């Protein structure tokens, strides 16, 4: 199954779900993805400067990194295609109008939007409003 590509259907059926866990974006110049696997990262991205890990707050604390900004994850529960066009822009645009930053990570089945923890409820409401408007 390849997922939905129709933007209107994606937005109308995205059903954003707020994860109760706070997350921290961390970067490691001297650790590999394999090294970071034991920390339960929900995302690992290799960059030229090092590996970025999206870690649950408690795991970040173990590494002394819990003082970084905390984010909450909103999962768009619609199965979006990796070839869908415009979903990231629509999500980012809806959040931008509310002054909320959006760090979007696309996975095989769903898109995940990481927003500042203190604005998570506002972000969830904005995304639900977007879905209801379609």
Overall domain count for the chain: 1
Give the model confidence (pLDDT) of 96-127 as tens digits.
999 999 999 999 999 999 999 999 999 999 99
Residue 2 lies in a domain: no
What CATH number is associated with residue 100?
3.30.2130.10
Residue 60 lies in a domain: yes
Write the CA distances from 123 to 15, 29, 65, 101, integer angstroms: 13, 32, 25, 9
Range of the domain at 31: 7-133
Residue 35 lies in a domain: yes
Instruction: Report pTM.
Output: 0.93
Residue 1 lies in a domain: no
Separation of alpha carbons 69 and 41, rounded Å? 16
Lowest-confidence pick of 12-21, 28-37, 94-103, 111-120: 28-37
Separation of alpha carbons 90 and 87, rounded Å? 5
Q: How many CB atoms lie within 10 A of CB 71?
A: 24
Residue 20 lies in a domain: yes
């Amino acid at each position: 199954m390849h997922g939905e590509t129709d933007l209107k259907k994606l937005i109308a059926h995205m059903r954003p779900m707020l994860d109760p866990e706070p997350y921290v974006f961390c970067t490691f110049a001297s650790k590999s993805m394999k090294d970071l696997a034991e920390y339960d990262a929900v995302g690992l991205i290799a960059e030229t400067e090092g590996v970025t890990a999206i870690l649950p707050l408690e795991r970040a604390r173990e590494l002394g990194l819990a003082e970084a900004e905390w984010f909450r994850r909103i999962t768009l529960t619609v199965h979006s295609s990796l070839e869908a066009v415009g979903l990231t822009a629509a999500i980012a645009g809806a959040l931008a109008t509310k002054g909320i930053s959006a760090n979007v990570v696309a996975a095989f089945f769903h898109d995940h939007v990481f927003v500042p923890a203190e604005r998570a409820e506002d972000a969830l409401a904005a995304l639900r409003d977007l879905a209801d408007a379609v």
